Amino acid sequence: MQSITLQTPDDWHLHFRDGDMLKETVPATARCFKRAIVMPNLVPPVTDADMANAYAQRILDARPQGSDFTPLMTLYLTNQTTPDTIVKAKQAGVVASKLYPAGATTNSDAAVKGIEALYPVFEEMQKQGMLLLIHGEVTESHVDIFDREKAFIDAHLRKIVDAFPALKVVFEHITTSDAADFVLDASENVAATITPQHLLLNRNDLLVGGVRPHNYCLPVLKRNTHQQALRRVVASGSSKFFLGTDSAPHEKHRKESACGCAGCYSAWSAIELYAQVFEDLDALDKFEGFASHHGPDFYGLPRNEGTITLVRESWSIPDSIVLPNGNPIVPFFAGQTINWKLQTS
């Protein structure tokens, strides 16, 4: 096969950041994705409809000329979020709210402490038809970092799904066989996103031969057996799993530091890397569903019109990209050669 044509895909989980960073991240995503679910963990976080609308406008202002890329906005849940916050956000076009346990990832210090306290908010989300997006990890220091996803399922996620059966829940960037099995066994109102890094790498790629900071993300890469479980579910074609890059840019000096930031910036190569995964799995016939169909179907949105085409062409991902402020950022899979490239003309 020398080319792959897909109905235009979407990215159902990413981080654009803010300010000058948008001049890099928005065009990188808009090159191949028509829509994206935009994470709200800015400083300060996006916690109400007015903030979501203002952030959306900044993203739209950063689009390349002629682009029709559309950001899909989310709210950041805190212990101050109320049911009325959800009603107003839904009326303003916000499609989902994001649950971060406090301390789970970048800029999550303002996040939820005591998840049960948000049950009235979940009830309103269920009523309004607003999706709940979950970073599914516990953050208690005594729980091993490699076990935190499973612990979250057992302590919180099962209870949420049971208590709110009509609430659509996306278990984001899953990393374990436990998470994959939970989603498969759950109702049709539970789905999951999977990142390129969790399909391509395991914890050996983070730790063997020295720590590799540009492969450090949260949830952290897990052992090979979990990686293989994720690869099996995407190869199966199950509609419960869809594309969400979790593309998360950080300047090089912030990654390569004594307390390096978590996140892989995959936007400039994500669709090509996913294509490589599906080819390696002999499952290219399942690629379009994962990239272009399952996400909008779950969100209750129309599938995109138009197509993109990937051609078989070897190319190397750049070692670094210079941001508008002049600082470098190291993209995911920097310096490595991949076999598919987005056709741009």
* pLDDT tens, position by position, 1-11: 899 999 999 99
Q: Is 185 annotated as a binding residue?
A: no
Mean pLDDT of 146-175: 97
Q: Is 98 annotated as a binding residue?
A: yes
C-alpha to C-alpha distance for 121 and 266, rounded to whole angstroms:
33
C-alpha to C-alpha distance for 298 and 327, rounded to whole angstroms:
38
C-alpha to C-alpha distance for 299 and 276, rounded to whole angstroms:
26
C-alpha to C-alpha distance for 35 and 9, rounded to whole angstroms:
8
> Tell me, what amino acid is at 264?
C
Give the β-pairing of 169-171 and 321-322. Answer: unpaired
Beta strands in the chain (DSSP E): 3-7, 11-14, 35-38, 70-76, 96-99, 131-134, 169-171, 190-194, 241-243, 307-316, 321-322, 328-329, 337-342
Tell me: the pLDDT tens digits for 91-140?
999 999 999 987 655 555 665 778 999 999 999 999 999 999 999 999 88
What pLDDT score does 106 carry?
58
What pLDDT score does 111 carry?
59
Mean pLDDT of 45-64: 98
C-alpha to C-alpha distance for 71 and 50, rounded to whole angstroms:
15
What pLDDT score does 109 carry?
60
Mean residue pLDDT across the chain:
95
What pLDDT score does 104 carry?
56
**Whole-number percent of the chain with pLDDT over 90:** 92
Residues 6+ positions from 271 with CB-CB distance below 8 Å: 9, 32, 33, 291, 308, 310, 342
Give all strands of the β-sheet with 131-134 in edge-to-edge order.
11-14, 35-38, 70-76, 96-99, 131-134, 169-171, 190-194, 241-243
C-alpha to C-alpha distance for 86 and 43, rounded to whole angstroms:
20
Q: Is 156 annotated as a binding residue?
A: no
Residues 6+ positions from 6 with CB-CB distance below 8 Å: 287, 288, 291, 292, 307, 308, 309, 310
Q: Show the CA angle centred on residue 245, arms to residues 334 and 238, nearest 5°.
A: 125
Q: Is 246 a catalytic residue?
A: yes
Rg (CA), the chain: 19
Which element (helix H / strand E) includes 276?
A: helix 270-280
Q: Give one DSSP letter per residue of 126-163, joined into a string.
A: HHHT-EEEE------TTS-GGGHHHHHIIIIIHHHHHH
* CA-based torsion, 228, 153, 104, 326: positive or negative: positive
Closest CA to 35 of 59, 65, 1, 3: 59
At residue 122, what are phi and psi to the nearest 5 degrees? -60, -40
Residues 6+ positions from 333 with CB-CB distance below 8 Å: 200, 266, 269, 273, 317
Q: Quick one: angle between helices 49-61 and 83-91, nearest 10?
A: 40
Tell me: the pLDDT tens digits for 249-303?
999 999 999 888 999 999 999 999 999 999 999 999 999 999 999 999 999 999 9
Please give the structure tokens belonging to residue 249. Answer: 């840019």
Residue in the block written with tokens 């800029």: 107
Q: Is 226 annotated as a binding residue?
A: no
Given the residues 10, 68, 246, 282, select the one marked as catalytic.
Answer: 246
Q: Is 173 annotated as a binding residue?
A: yes
